[in-house]
Amino acid sequence: MKNKIVLITGGTGGIGKQTALTLAKMGARIIITGRAKTSGDETVAEIKQASGNPNVDLLLGDLSAQAEIHSLANQFKIKNQRLDVLINNAGLASSKRELTADGIESNFAVNVIAPFLLTRLLMDSLKASPSARVINLMGGDVPAKLDMGNLQGQRSFDGLNSYSQSKLAMMLMTYEFARRVQGANVTVNVCYPGQASTNMTRSVTPEMFPRFMRFIFPLFKLMTRPDGGKSAEKASRSSVYLASSKDVEGLNGKYFDAKSKMVDFPAIVMDVTTRQKIWEVAEQVSRLS
Ligand SMILES: NC(=O)c1ccc[n+]([C@@H]2O[C@H](COP(=O)([O-])OP(=O)(O)OC[C@H]3O[C@@H](n4cnc5c(N)ncnc54)[C@H](OP(=O)(O)O)[C@@H]3O)[C@@H](O)[C@H]2O)c1
């Protein structure tokens, strides 16, 4: 990974931070994004120290706000001629239906629109790389269907379902992206990291589970108790594999599990009409159409 430029969203904690650390140890130039300067600077210092790699930087931006995504992309382009690896890692699992500054439901904004818009804005930088990779992170349970009439929980909302639906929408968007860049020097793939104890999982509340599943909450809490980043490191391996392995060079539009094994997409991802609709919604919501 020497001299490769890698941008990781949400690199200030959890899986993203572990991904950044491993790729820094491999010699890549790492740029992480986060929302808070103090914790971001601390993370950069920590990664530099632990990896012995001085080429680690921070870009600040809230990915729920489209103006800040534009600003992040611009800040990146000012300092970098190309982008070799983009890891759309940042994610949100909000238990409440909240609207962003752009009036978009927050899970949909951070999990679907942010990776879509950032990848689109950085496409020229990716195409300037001899061989670029985009990696998007999937959530746990993959729902069989996408509720197109309720993408932003406008009809009914429950936290876990909203998160899962947004991740499925992101998966469809990823596949469509891959199809559209086919033949260029850019690949777009998706991976499932596996479960890890991170801020995201530790902030899950019983109310996020459907009523009939709340009895498993104590077990979930036990599985996600703090472990000093151990499970997050394990969960970062699929992202690291897709970012660095020669085995996946040129592979485009594929889905990898937590063991970095290529697996089939859920059937709905192959549905051209649904994919096309998600693409149109993403373009419209991010004001690119
Ligand atoms: N943990 C799991 O068990 C698990 C399982 C399946 C999938 N995943 C997926 O893996 C990815 C990483 O999750 P994680 O568990 O490592 O989460 P995490 O510990 O909560 O870290 C999330 C990162 O995203 C950033 N972030 C969150 N909202 C943001 C926003 N609005 N704007 C900018 N940055 C934002 C955070 O940065 P700040 O410092 O600014 O807060 C943080 O660096 C997510 O896509 C998640 O859906 C996780």
Cβ of 15 closer than 6 Å to ligand 1, yes or no, is: yes
How confident is the model at residue 136, as a pLDDT?
A: 98
- CATH code: domain 5-285 is 3.40.50.720
Residue ranges, the chain, pLDDT below 70: none
Residue with tokens 């690119």: 288
Based on the residue annotation, tell me whether 192 is a catalytic residue of this protein.
no
Residue 7: closest CA among 81, 67, 76, 55: 76
Atom of ligand 1 nearest to the CA of 195: 3
CB 113 within 8 A of CB 91: no
Q: Is 12 in the pocket of ligand 1 (CB under 6 A)?
A: yes
Distance 84 CA to ligand 1 centre (A): 22
87/137 Cα distance (integer angstroms):
8
Output the pLDDT for position 224: 84
Write down the pLDDT at residue 223.
82
Residue 253 near ligand 1, beta carbon < 6 Å: no
Atom of ligand 1 nearest to the CA of 201: 1
* pTM of the model as a whole: 0.96
Enter the DSSP assignment of 182.
T
203: left (phi over 0), alpha (psi -120 to 50) or beta: alpha
Choosing from 15, 167, 191 the residue with most ligand 1 atoms within 8 A of its CB, the one to mutate for a pocket test is 15
Q: So what's the pLDDT on residue 203?
A: 82
Ligand 1: which residue has its CA nearest to atom 19?
Answer: 14
**Which class for 64: exposed (0-12), middle (13-18), buried (19 or more C-beta within 10 A)?**
buried
Is residue 13 in contact with ligand 1, taking CB distance under 6 Å? yes
- What's the gap in Å between 80 CA and the centre of ligand 1? 25
Residues near 62 by beta carbon (within 8 Å), at least 6 away in sequence: 35, 68
Tell me how far the alpha carbon of residue 62 is from its chain's centroid. 14
DSSP code of 234?
Answer: H
- How many CB atoms sit inside 10 A of residue 266's CB? 17
What CA–CA distance (Å, rounded) separates 130 from 84?
Answer: 8
Distance (angstroms) between ligand 1 centre and the Cα of 183 equals 31
